């Protein structure tokens, strides 16, 4: 999907998601933070050393993740159970996973390993965190969704990373636009459930 098309699909999906949240899940809508600042977007771009995909920019310009704390908990906006990261928390998560990766890998081969894995095509599985991976959501239990910014035709795909297994599954979404469109469709088709406090869950 071309960059302009990805941005358009993301924008349309966000309009649908926002309309559904306002009508059916105001608590979940209130849990979303205001749009990210340009400074935050630049910080994310500088961290990964390349421009952010336009659909990811659109996502963070809609809402800079969700507020933290039980009172602001709107549940899991992203199926099957992920909450969107604010950019600052995404970058902190990325830093922590990179620190863990350095401790696990032998120091004498760390640079070679990272350079080799980081130069492989996007969507290639890997057991340890790579610099070209940018987190976008968390399950608050050692699992992240991330955008794979390595090269190739699947650049920008969304993958899952889990602390015990790494990223060993194929991407559930081709890109952030695909993820947002899927969320919008599933919300509109009634797949999400709301608990008594108005939190979103996915059966």
Residue 84 has pLDDT above 90, yes or no: yes
Tell me the average pLDDT across 69-98: 90
- pLDDT digit string (tens) for 126-177? 998 999 999 999 999 999 999 999 999 999 999 999 999 999 999 999 999 9
Q: What is d(CA 86, CA 201) in angstroms, rounded to the nearest whole number?
A: 20
String of b and e for 172-196 (b: at least 16 CB within 10 Å)?
bbbbbbbbbbbbbeebeeeebeeee
pLDDT tier, 68 (very low <50, low <70, confident <90, very high otherwise): confident
According to the model, what pLDDT value does residue 38 have?
Answer: 96
pTM (two decimals) = 0.94
CATH number, domain of 141, equals: 3.40.1580.10
Residue 190 has pLDDT above 60, yes or no: yes
What is the domain count for the chain? 1
Residue 10 has pLDDT above 70, yes or no: yes
Residue 111 has pLDDT above 90, yes or no: no
Q: What is d(CA 193, CA 76) in angstroms, rounded to the nearest whole number?
A: 10
Residue 72 has pLDDT above 70, yes or no: no
% residues pLDDT > 70 (the chain): 96
What is the domain range of residue 196? 3-201
According to the model, what pLDDT value does residue 96 have?
Answer: 95
Q: Which of 48, 63, 67, 195 is nearest to 129 (CA)?
A: 48
According to the model, what pLDDT value does residue 4 have?
Answer: 83
Q: At what angle do helices 3-24 and 176-188 cross, to 10 degrees?
A: 30
What are the E-state strand segments in 110-170?
Answer: 133-138, 143-148, 157-162
According to the model, what pLDDT value does residue 70 have?
Answer: 52
What SS3 class is residue 115?
helix
pLDDT tier, 86 (very low <50, low <70, confident <90, very high otherwise): very high
Tell me the average pLDDT across 115-136: 95
According to the model, what pLDDT value does residue 101 have?
Answer: 83
Tell me the average pLDDT across 115-134: 94
Residue 120 in tokens: 């492989």
Q: Which of 122, 163, 156 is nearest to 141 (CA)?
A: 163
Q: Which of 66, 69, 26, 25 is nearest to 193 (CA)?
A: 25
% residues pLDDT > 90 (the chain): 84
């Amino acid at each position: 999907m071309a960059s302009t098309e990805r941005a358009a699909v993301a924008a349309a999906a966000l309009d649908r998601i926002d309309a559904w949240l306002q009508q059916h899940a105001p608590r979940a809508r209130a849990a979303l933070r205001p749009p990210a600042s340009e400074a935050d977007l630049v910080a994310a771009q500088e961290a990964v050393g390349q421009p952010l995909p336009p659909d990811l920019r659109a996502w963070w310009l809609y809402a800079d993740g969700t507020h933290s704390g039980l009172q602001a908990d709107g549940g899991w906006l992203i199926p099957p159970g992920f909450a969107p990261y604010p950019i600052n928390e995404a970058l902190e998560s990325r830093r922590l996973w990179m620190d863990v990766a350095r401790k696990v890998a032998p120091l004498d081969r760390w640079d070679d390993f990272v350079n080799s894995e980081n130069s492989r095509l996007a969507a290639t599985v890997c057991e340890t965190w790579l610099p070209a991976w940018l987190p976008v959501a968390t399950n608050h239990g050692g699992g992240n969704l991330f955008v794979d910014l390595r090269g190739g035709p699947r650049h920008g795909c969304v993958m899952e990373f889990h602390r015990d297994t790494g990223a060993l599954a194929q991407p559930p979404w081709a890109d952030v636009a695909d993820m947002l469109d899927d969320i919008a469709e599933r919300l509109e088709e009634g797949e999400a459930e709301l608990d008594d406090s108005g939190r979103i869950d996915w059966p």
